[in-house]
A and B are shown apart, each in its own frame.
Chain A
Amino acid sequence: MTLSIALQHRFGDFALQAAFEAPPGVTALFGRSGSGKSTVVNAVAGLLRPDQGRIALGGRVLFDSDARVNLPPHRRRMGYVFQDARLFRHLNVRQNLSYGRWFAGTAGDAGDLGRIADLLGIGALLDRRPGTLSGGERQRVAIGRAILSRPQMLLMDEPLAALDEPRKAEILPYLERLRDELSLPILYVSHSVAEVARLATSIVLLEAGRVVTAGPATQVMADPAMAPVMGLREAGALISARVVAHEADGLTRLDSAGGPLWLPRLGARPGDRLRLRILAQDVMLATARPDGISALNILSTVVEDIRLGDGPGALVRLRLGDEALLARITRRSVEALGLQPGKAVFAVLKSVFVAQDSVGADAGAAPT
Chain B
Amino acid sequence: MFDALSPEEWQAVALSLRVSFWATLLSLPLGVFVAYALARWQFWGKHLLNGLVHLPLILPPVVTGYLLLLTFGRKGLVGQFLDDWFGIVLAFRWTGAVLAAAVMAFPLMVRAIRLAIEAVDPKLEEAASTLGAPRLWVFATVTLPLILPGIVAGAILAFAKAMGEFGATITFVSNIPGQTQTLPSAIYAFLQVPGGDGQAFRLVVVAIVVAMAALLLAEWVSRAIAKRISGR
Q: Which of B126, B128, B229 contacts A89 (CB 8 A)?
A: B229
Q: Is A269 an interface residue (CB 8 A)?
A: no
Q: Which residues of chain B have C-beta atoms less than 8 A from A45's C-beta?
A: 130
Q: Which residues of chain B have C-beta atoms less than 8 A from A72's C-beta?
A: 129, 134-135
The residue on A at minimum CB distance from B142 is A88
Q: Convert A55-85 into 0s and 1s, putting 1 for each residue whose CB lies closer than 8 angstroms to a CB of B.
A: 0000000000000000011111111101010
Contact between A84 and B142 (Cβ–Cβ < 8 Å)?
no
Q: Which residues of chain A have C-beta atoms less than 8 A from B129's C-beta?
A: 46-47, 72-74
Query: Which residues, 45 to 66 on B, are CB-close (under 8 Å) to A?
Result: none
Contact between A77 and B127 (Cβ–Cβ < 8 Å)?
no
Q: Is A14 an interface residue (CB 8 A)?
A: no
Contact between A89 and B127 (Cβ–Cβ < 8 Å)?
no
Q: Convert A129-141 into 0s and 1s, putting 1 for each residue whose CB lies closer than 8 angstroms to a CB of B.
A: 1111000000000
| Closest CB in chain B relative to A47 CB, distance in Å | 5
Contact between B145 and A73 (Cβ–Cβ < 8 Å)?
no
Contact between B231 and A74 (Cβ–Cβ < 8 Å)?
no
With an 8 Å Cβ cutoff, the count of chain B residues facing the other chain is 24
Query: Which residues, 103 to 160 on B, are CB-close (under 8 Å) to A?
Result: 121, 123-124, 126-135, 137-138, 141-142, 145-146
Q: Is A146 an interface residue (CB 8 A)?
A: yes
Contact between B132 and A90 (Cβ–Cβ < 8 Å)?
no
Q: Is A20 an interface residue (CB 8 A)?
A: no
Q: Convert A146-158 into 0s and 1s, putting 1 for each residue whose CB lies closer than 8 angstroms to a CB of B.
A: 1001000000000
Q: Convert A86-127 into 0s and 1s, putting 1 for each residue whose CB lies closer than 8 angstroms to a CB of B.
A: 111110000000011011100000000000000000000000
Q: Which of A73, A79, A90 contacts B146 (CB 8 A)?
A: A90
Cα of A362 to Cα of B202 in the assembled complex, Å: 77
Cα of A317 to Cα of B228 in the assembled complex, Å: 59
Contact between B130 and A129 (Cβ–Cβ < 8 Å)?
no
Q: Is A277 an interface residue (CB 8 A)?
A: no
Contact between A103 and B132 (Cβ–Cβ < 8 Å)?
yes
Q: Which residues of chain B have C-beta atoms less than 8 A from A149's C-beta?
A: 130-132
A-B contact count (CB 8 A): 80
**Chain A residues touching B, range:** 20 to 34
Q: Which residues of chain B have C-beta atoms less than 8 A from A253's C-beta?
A: none
A99 touching B131 in the complex, CB below 8 Å, given contacts A86-B124, A90-B145: yes
Contact between B232 and A78 (Cβ–Cβ < 8 Å)?
no
Q: Is A145 an interface residue (CB 8 A)?
A: yes
Q: Which residues of chain B have C-beta atoms less than 8 A from A88's C-beta?
A: 124, 127-128, 142
Contact between A129 and B134 (Cβ–Cβ < 8 Å)?
no
Contact between B132 and A77 (Cβ–Cβ < 8 Å)?
yes
Q: Which residues of chain B have C-beta atoms less than 8 A from A130's C-beta?
A: 231
Contact between A47 and B130 (Cβ–Cβ < 8 Å)?
yes
Q: Is B6 an interface residue (CB 8 A)?
A: no
A82 touching B123 in the complex, CB below 8 Å, given contacts A90-B229, A129-B232, A131-B231: yes
Query: Which residues, 156 to 188 on B, are CB-close (under 8 Å) to A?
Result: none
| Closest CB in chain B relative to A42 CB, distance in Å | 9
| Closest CB in chain B relative to A59 CB, distance in Å | 20
The residue on B at minimum CB distance from A129 is B231
Contact between A90 and B130 (Cβ–Cβ < 8 Å)?
no
Q: Is B42 an interface residue (CB 8 A)?
A: no
Q: Which residues of chain B have C-beta atoms less than 8 A from A76's C-beta?
A: 130
| Closest CB in chain B relative to A71 CB, distance in Å | 11
Contact between A74 and B146 (Cβ–Cβ < 8 Å)?
no
Cα of A102 to Cα of B132 in the assembled complex, Å: 8
Give 16 A-B contacts (CB < 8 Å), ordered by A residue: A74-B133, A74-B135, A74-B138, A77-B132, A82-B123, A82-B127, A88-B127, A88-B142, A89-B230, A90-B145, A99-B131, A100-B131, A103-B131, A103-B133, A129-B231, A146-B130
